[in-house]
Homo-oligomer: A and B are copies of this chain.
């Protein structure tokens, strides 16, 4: 017998990493509401509200719009395994960890993958997709809208034309963009998209909002082989979320309460206002970081508002800086992923965490951490950030 641990008492962090982001108090409270059954009429009403709100936030009228019972990576796998049949040719943009992950998931589903490579930290241009495709036809064209590992934004709307030329469905990862940057599924004619809850929606991790447009739903309905994953089989899941209410798996009730409140908060603020807030606070952060003498990985036109990758300066122990921030300021920032591990700090200003206060906390703490590393940052990075406040 091990001793029984004490009740949990996690610290109150300031979450400025690549996710999870700070969660609004009303979302945390929603998680603790009484659990009810997954076929309770009161819960079915919650599901209908969830679908309607998710459509608003994703800017789509797609009927097949619902949260999957897993994190963003489960949403990625859902889109790929439901749309891929073995032998399908799939074209995937790779400019970071999540494009790389898409290739891995697609290959496991039996796809013939063609990767469209770009430098990590840069956007992927439509021409790169055209060049990699040659004159072949593809079942899917997949791209990451906001690459969490680098902070680079790809104009996925511009990929629609390429997808049409290749006869491909357009599949988009909007994990880090949804709720923080314009995402226009219908406006861009995206065929399938997935997101996560723990970035700009500011709900704890555990769910993945997905949406399939009619052409993707048709591809799913007419496939010859069963979807290789039972848990992520969207045909069956749609029968539970649709009017038939056929039991598939037990829905994660309390997590869905949390998402309900998180989507409510997004709509109460208004999407445009929320995008502007993310943009405004990101600009203040960028100015302050540059005033500290730090370099940003991504050139400004391709840079994400919700997530900024900062180059670790020569001679600085990046792990020591992160430990300093956590120990002395209870601030979490990221440590870089894949080939960028240890070379950049991803700093997130996402959802409820995108505030002027967090910009100031982050800059002041980072300055102190750099001084502790023997660097000599200038005295007041806040001067550079302008005078716009969100409170």
Could you tell me which A residues sit within 8 Å of B by CB distance? 1-2, 4-5, 7-13, 15, 17, 19-20, 22-23, 26, 28-43, 46, 49, 52-53, 56, 69-74, 76-77, 81, 101, 104-105, 107-109, 196, 198, 204-206, 226-232, 247-255, 257-258, 260-261, 264, 267-268, 326, 332, 335, 337
Contact = CB atoms under 8 A, between A and B. Distances in A.
Contacts of A255: 204, 206, 252, 254-255
9 contacts: A5-B260, A10-B34, A10-B43, A72-B249, A73-B248, A81-B229, A107-B226, A254-B255, A254-B258
Given A8-B46, A8-B261, A12-B34, 11 more contacts: A5-B52, A5-B264, A11-B34, A20-B35, A20-B250, A32-B32, A37-B332, A70-B70, A70-B231, A73-B249, A81-B229
A231 B75 CA distance: 9
Given A1-B56, A196-B250, A257-B10, A15 B35 contact: yes
A159 B41 CA distance: 41
A42 B253 contact: no
Contacts of A34: 10-13, 23, 28
Nearest to A77: B231
Interface SS, A side: loop
Copies in the complex: 2
Contacts of A249: 70-74
Contacts of A20: 35-38, 250, 253
A48 to B, nearest CB: 9
Contact of A53 (B5, B70, B257): B5
With most chain B CB atoms within 10 A of its CB, the pick from A38, A108, A249 is A249
A5 B266 CA distance: 12
Contacts of A248: 73
B42 A227 contact: no
Nearest to A2: B52
Given A105-B230, A326-B40, A337-B247, A33 B9 contact: yes
Q: Report the 3 A-B pairs with minimum CB-CB distance, sorted nearest first.
A: A206-B252, A32-B32, A73-B249
A301 to B, nearest CB: 28
A196 B252 CA distance: 11
Nearest to A332: B37
A81 B81 CA distance: 14
